[in-house]
């Protein structure tokens, strides 16, 4: 069971003045935060790709390369790389480079992305949203398995006996697929034998149970050994020394970010009642003190039979000092208690 942290690189935005934190400041904070994650024993770190003013990170692999130089043990991956608007060859080379810099700790998580800014930015048509991902994921998995590739598709020039360098430390990279709630994404990952990370960022987690069951069945149906199955969830989270205090302090930060995104998607204003339900045992948020967080994480692990849990911890960009304390609590108290409880149930 692996317990890690995911981020999107949210920058702080003053709700009164609209002043935006410089991206350079947030990037430097992220590297410092990942360094602490490594020191306190967090298993993995994932950083997302966005092309918007309210997120600092457009190239996860560059942040991960920087983090590789100040860490020793933590796995370093994207969360996610928007494969649909990327070149799979260049993406594979970039992550192979991170893998070499980190002595074999790099991972790549591919997804279609929940924002669409990268499509016009890199010259892709949204009408090809699904077809782009299908084709590029097939090529990426081929590159990961073969030294010399012959391949042709619709959206890029063919590869004819093309060698791809550099190769990762162990010749291939761990590649995960991030999925939201679509059955096609689940069955595609199972067919290719790829682990999945479910993004549970709203509503009741139990609503995802049919997708987990579908993934497991499709995994077996496609001839893969059930012992090799890996599955994780990504949930919004934040931790503090006192449950009520951290919840009250984090609520306006979280709500402001939900409302910023909601304006572009037609969502109604975010309410405290949604937040409080999300923090309950039945909701999608892991926000509270150590004991409450341990209980919630164990509940989610048991519900889905997880091999990986990712706490997405920078929604709305809390203060750096609060992030550092949350990371410390996660690594030194929450993770050990979760893993000890899991050992007792084995």
> Model confidence over 49-77: pLDDT tens digits?
999 999 999 999 999 999 999 999 999 99
Taking the C-alpha atoms of 243, 310, 258 and 212 in order, what is their torsion angle to the nearest 10 degrees? -110
Query: Over 90: is that where the pLDDT of 177 sits?
Result: yes
pTM over 0.85: yes
Rounded CA-CA distance 23/11 in Å is 7
**Per-residue model confidence (pLDDT) at position 113:** 80
pLDDT in tens, 89-100: 999 999 999 999
For residue 180, pLDDT over 90 is answered with no
Write down the pLDDT at residue 317.
97
191-214: pLDDT as tens digits: 999 999 999 999 999 999 999 999
Question: CA 281, CA 279: separation in Å to the nearest integer?
Answer: 7
For residue 345, the model assigns a pLDDT of 87
238: β partners: 287
Distance (Å, whole) CA 81 – CA 68? 18
**Whose CA is closest to 77, among 108, 37, 103?**
108
Give the span between the Cα atoms of 200 and 181, in whole angstroms: 9
**Mean per-residue pLDDT of the chain:** 96
User: Where do we find the tokens 């709500």?
Assistant: 255
Q: Which residue has the tokens 């998580």?
A: 109
């Amino acid at each position: 069971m692996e317990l890690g942290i995911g981020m999107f690189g949210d920058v702080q935005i003053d709700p009164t003045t609209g002043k935006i934190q410089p991206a350079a400041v947030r990037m430097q904070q992220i590297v410092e935060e990942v360094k602490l994650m490594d020191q306190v024993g967090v298993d993995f770190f994932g950083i997302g790709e966005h092309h918007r003013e309210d997120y600092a990170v457009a190239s996860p692999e560059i942040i991960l390369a920087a983090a590789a130089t100040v860490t020793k043990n933590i796995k370093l991956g994207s969360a996610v790389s928007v494969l649909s608007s990327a070149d799979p060859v260049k993406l594979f080379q970039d992550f192979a480079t991170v893998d070499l810099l980190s002595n074999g700790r790099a991972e790549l998580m591919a997804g279609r992305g929940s924002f669409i800014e990268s499509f016009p930015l890199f010259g892709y048509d949204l009408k090809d949203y699904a077809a782009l991902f299908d084709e590029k994921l097939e090529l990426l998995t081929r590159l990961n398995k073969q030294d010399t590739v012959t391949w042709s598709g619709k959206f890029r020039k063919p590869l004819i006996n093309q060698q791809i360098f550099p190769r990762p430390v162990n010749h291939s990279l761990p590649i995960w697929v991030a999925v939201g709630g679509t059955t096609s994404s689940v069955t595609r990952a199972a067919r290719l034998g790829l682990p999945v990370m479910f993004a549970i960022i709203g509503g009741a987690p139990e609503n995802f149970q049919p997708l987990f069951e579908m993934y497991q069945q499709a995994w077996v149906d496609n001839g893969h050994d059930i012992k090799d199955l890996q599955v994780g969830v990504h949930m919004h989270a934040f931790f503090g020394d006192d449950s009520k205090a951290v919840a009250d302090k984090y609520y306006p930060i979280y709500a402001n970010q939900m409302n910023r995104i909601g304006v572009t998607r037609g969502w109604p204003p975010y309410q405290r009642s949604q937040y409080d339900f999300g923090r309950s045992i039945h909701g999608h948020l892991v926000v509270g003190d150590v004991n409450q967080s341990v209980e919630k994480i164990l509940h989610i692990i048991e519900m889905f039979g997880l091999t990986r849990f990712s706490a997405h911890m920078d929604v709305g960009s809390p203060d750096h000092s609060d992030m550092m304390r949350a990371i410390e609590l996660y690594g030194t108290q929450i993770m050990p208690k979760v893993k000890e409880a899991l050992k007792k149930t084995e």
